[in-house]
Amino acid sequence: MQEMLKLQKKIIPELVDLLEKRYNVLRTIYYNEPIGRRTLAGYLNLSERIVRTEISFLNDQGLIAISSPGMSVTDEGREVLEKLKGYIHEIKGLSEVEEIIKEFLNLKNVIVVSGDVEEDPSIMKEIGKAAANFAKSHIHSGDIIAVTGGSTVKSVIDNFPKVNSIKDVLVVPARGGMGKKVETQANTLSAKLAEKLNGTYKMLHVPENLSDEILETLVQQKEIQEIIECIHKANILIYGIGRAQQMGMKRGLSQKQLQQLNELGAVGEAFGCYFDKDSNVVWITPTLGININDINNLNLHIAVAAGKNKVEAILSTKFGNKNGVLVTDEGAALRLVEHIKQNNS
């Protein structure tokens, strides 16, 4: 197949470009339906004239439906999208990109989704779906799954399919609460995932950034002790990766603490741990949940991070995790490969 794709690119490159463009148009409609022509053009960074032409074609083929609220993808269009996904992946050489990143970072697996989330935010839904499908295929009866909070992990949970074939799954928040949005809190996401897995969940009603004294008092409570015990027994973790300074602000660190992070060379953050460019943990947010010492005991930990601006953070947090999986977008992946090639040279 790879050989055929290379021939197609050489002999009829315009056909490959057109296929990719129409795939992107159809996919963007699917993840934002119902959507108007002007909004679609903005998402795709294309002129309305070009978008009008593509919409006309897709409509004539029965792949989209146009109504007063906007455009939506038909059942046939969804089927075409699903079948084209792997083909587009191979056309762009993303399998090779995945292998390069996997080998360099010494990971269990790498999944790269076609597109750049910084150019088209709707791709985050495709990334969430890819992470959800991978996680679903690795969850078994009796597993304990820990999830962090945040909009990226929410995208994974939102795109998780309903599963009835497994039993006795427990979902727990990986750490305490962070931020003001209830819908992206780890407790909320744990409950939502448990419902989709036909399992149970426990909640940890403890905010982050509490003093050591308060945490020590809380851990004496029997109910909290039981939850913490479950969290530390988790064998699967789903989490996001952030840039150190940005995550420090989200976690409510003071200006003095943010300055310390900067002085320590922190570039990335995951599950409350801050990493420098050499993957050393230089700061840990006090919490009762999962920390760096638990990572090696996990059978599987799935990091979801997208965007070229996350590359340094990904490199700092994911290096050498043999049970680690990275799900990212094409934009970040290509920048990662650039870094790897520079590093090797």
Please give the mean pLDDT across all residues of the chain: 89
Confidence check: pLDDT of 10 > 80? no
Q: What is the pLDDT of residue 228?
A: 86
Q: Closest by alpha carbon to 24, among 6, 5, 40?
A: 40
Provide the pLDDT for residue 1. 59
Token pair, residue 159, equals 């795109």
Domain range list for the chain: 2-91, 94-344
Q: Can you list the alpha helix ranges (DSSP code H) found in the chain?
A: 2-11, 13-32, 37-44, 48-60, 75-91, 94-105, 123-138, 151-158, 186-196, 212-218, 222-232, 244-250, 255-263, 311-318, 330-344
pLDDT tens-digit map of 306-320:
999 999 999 999 876
Tokens 């050393």 identify what position?
A: 280
Question: What predicted TM-score, i.e. pTM, was given to this entire model?
Answer: 0.89
Residue type present at position 89: H
Closest CA to 146 of 283, 275, 303: 303
Backbone torsions φ then ψ of 256, nearest 5 degrees: -65, -40
User: Which fold does the domain 2-91 belong to in CATH?
Assistant: Arc Repressor Mutant, subunit A (1.10.10)
Whether the bond between 161 and the residue before it is cis, its omega within 30 degrees of 0, is no
Q: What is the pLDDT of residue 214?
A: 66
How is domain 94-344 classified at the CATH fold level?
Rossmann fold (3.40.50)
Question: Strand 144-147 and strand 236-240: pairing?
Answer: parallel
User: Which two structure tokens, joined as six digits, stand for 112?
Assistant: 């790269």
Residue 173 neighbours by CB under 8 Å, 6+ apart: 146, 147, 148, 149, 185, 186, 187, 189, 190, 202, 203, 204, 231, 289
pLDDT of residue 9 exceeding 70: no
The yes-or-no verdict on residue 154 having pLDDT over 90 is yes
